[in-house]
Amino acid sequence: MRRTVAPLTLEVFWSRLISVVEEQAAALIRTSFTPAVSECGDLSACAFDARGRLIAQAITGTPGHINPMAAAMRHILAEFPPETLAPGDVIITNDPWKTSGHFHDITVVSPVFRGDRLIGFFGNICHTADIGGRVFSADAQELYEEGLFIPVVKLMQGGRNSRDVERFLVANVRTPEELMGDLYAQMAANEVGAQRLLGFMAEYGLEDIEDLAEEVIRRSEHAMRTAIAPLPDGTYESEATVDGYDEPVTLRVRLVVRGDEILVDHSGTSPQSRRGINVVLNYTHAYATFALKCALAPDVPNNEGSFRPIQVTAPEGCILNATPPAPVAGRHILGHFLPALIFRALAPVIPERVMAEGSANLWNTSFHGLDAAGRRFTLLFFNTGGTGARHAKDGLSSTAYPSGVAGTPAEVIEARTPLVVVKRELRTDAGGPGTYRGGLGHWLVLRVARTPHPVTFSPFFDRLQFPARGLMGGLEGAKGEYYLSDGRRPNPKATISVPPGVDIVIGFPGGGGVGDPRKRPREKVLDDVRNGYVSPEAARDIYGAAADPTTIE
């Protein structure tokens, strides 16, 4: 029988454990070769007990990486049971259905031993610069086109590199130095976590962390159930239509609340697509559980216990539970819409704890080609529009939600590619009007300027047809914009070639508003106009008497 950890001792131990995974994440960020990780934080860093149960995560990271790590550990231990592991082993995979949903995310897991005793695991996921196949895009019609499939294998065994695995990896990617640099950074980050954990255990005389893990998981489960219980039993539904690739996609959710448990059912969602916008169930589960934690229990630690009261299902073969060999590279496009879908379903019962729809999906921009010296470059960088307004608060402008990654500085874009950032500024009138205004998107203009070669561009854009909707009387945000200075308006998810001298013009969508716009305080409307968030014309037309024309001029 395990011992109960005293509350004060638990607080000390928990704080130390969080500091351990924070150091693990910091090591990965500081040593990564990929700007998506080093500049934007597109990663996870997690600690597990000896049974592979997620117990702690670093604050830095995205739900689409962190939550699938819990599922990944089950698959890894099925392939390599604890008795087959030894000090110095490192396991990797990018199997979309066993971890984070597409080939570009590589999972690295390292067992931790104290002497000859397995005491836990450290794992992380980060987005690699290139994984071969097509460039990172939503264009593929089969999984096999999207790059190198890495099954659950050992990259290191007993502290020795698996040279054969490395040779396969290096031979299949465009930028092998970046790939291998990132893998070594991931291994180093796990090693930092392991050394810090062993030091913490030695300091407090701990033989293992099982008592600590059990207590954290038990308390997290209890707290999550306590947060769910006040919701009235019943069924809550919503649906949304999004752009899709060649045709619109319908997303549906049905939340069934029974006591202290919730079933999230995505029946009625569109079937899987022939293009790479499909989502695996791991990723669907990640953003469903994340949304419920945000709405119901944001302060509860994210671990094995907090997942237990929530069940997530989607019909096999639908776009939120795609089956192989469906292409999945752009799975984030639809996956990021799920929190807003769940918030809309919950709005009738907890309106003060949900937010309106926002830009949602990251507008990833993936470039590759040759620079002026003929050297190959590859760069993925992130952009986003506005978030939806919240109860009693305006939405945030050009802020990633629900992914949480940072934008990429112009200096990094220009240092790593022959692109020039011509313009980056907020979009006036992009935020959905309301008592509380939706966040603004921004304009981004990129020019292919410092190479004689055309550049290949793969966008991952949505909300050009269906804008973010408001809640409780709030109005919708602005739709997205995307066109080229040569007159083209390409499919916003199709890879194109952009010749030198041509500008790529991108207008990121705004978030929806909350509440009747005519109830917005006059001083807030005037501040919006002075700051350029709202035009005088829109203020007069939408906010009416609240906007005094003689003051706004």
Residue indicated by tokens 């499939």: 149
Tell me the mean pLDDT in the region 93-117.
97
Cβ(495)–Cβ(509) below 8 Å = no
Least trusted range by pLDDT, from 158-167, 308-317, 506-515 = 158-167
pLDDT digits (tens, 9 = 90+) for 183-239: 999 999 999 999 999 999 999 999 999 999 999 999 999 999 999 999 999 999 999
How is the chain split into domains, by residue range?
7-222, 355-516, 521-553
DSSP state of 102: S
| pLDDT above 70 as % of the chain | 98
Instruction: Give 274-312 pLDDT, tens digit per residue.
Output: 999 999 999 999 999 999 999 999 999 999 999 999 999
DSSP code at position 258: E
Residue with tokens 């692109």: 419
pLDDT of residue 60: 85
198 with 120: CB under 8 angstroms? no
In one letter, which amino acid is 267? S
Task: Write the DSSP assignment of 467-488 as a string of letters.
Answer: PPP-BTTPPPPPPPEEEETTS-
| Closest-CA residue to 46 (of 154, 126, 131) | 126
543 falls in which pLDDT band (50, 70, 90)?
Answer: confident
**CA–CA gap between residue 100 and residue 286 (Å, rounded):** 9
pLDDT at residue number 392: 93
Dump pLDDT digits (tens) for 137-159.
Answer: 999 999 999 999 999 999 999 99
